Amino acid sequence: MFNALTRTPPPAERWAALTRWAAGIIFLIFGVGKFSNHAAELASFRHYPLPAPDTFVYLVGVIELAGGLLLIMGLLTRLAALALAADMIGAIVISGLARWELISLTLAPLLLVAMISLMRFGAGSWSLDRRLALKAASRHGPPPGDIRRRPIQGGRPCP
């Protein structure tokens, strides 16, 4: 996982962390905007073909705030990335393709690709997901079928 001499993670691990942090900060900024600038967001959402624009502003704001925080921490990363990917698909289709809003045709597709990569490759080693997985693995010991750590009696692994 780490280079033994320099104690640095491989480039893929750094990219996973940078992707999480950059996307998380962007989602936090846009999520806060749904609440701090609610009137402007609501006016924008009223132009979209949504049944309850006021509810959708709050729903999207909560998804972006919570998802952004989870990404930054690296906690429940794949689940957060899934919710945020759905959010970005909605932004691309509803405000990007239907209304040709520039941010939904530029930033939203980039964030969608980032979320797909996080769903595929996970949060990386600099994450709470990784720490929790290591802690759970150390508590439970080796898997039952793992013969590498069983004592040997008479030249064969013990059952």
Annotated domain spans of the chain: 11-127
* Global confidence as pTM: 0.79
* 97 close to 90: Cβ distance less than 8 angstroms: no
What is the structure's pLDDT at 99? 87
pLDDT 10s digits, 112-138: 999 999 999 999 888 999 999 888 888
User: Could you give the C-alpha distances from 118 to 2, 30, 115, 131, 147, in angstroms and in order?
Assistant: 20, 19, 5, 17, 33
What's the pLDDT tens digit per position in 88-106?
999 999 999 988 998 899 9
Average pLDDT over residues 64-76: 97
Backbone angles phi, psi at 107, to 5 degrees: -70, -40
Query: What sign results for the dihedral spanned by CA atoms 110, 104, 72, 50?
Result: negative
Q: Name every residue whose Cβ is closer than 8 Å to that of residue 47 and which is 6 or more positions away in sequence.
A: 99
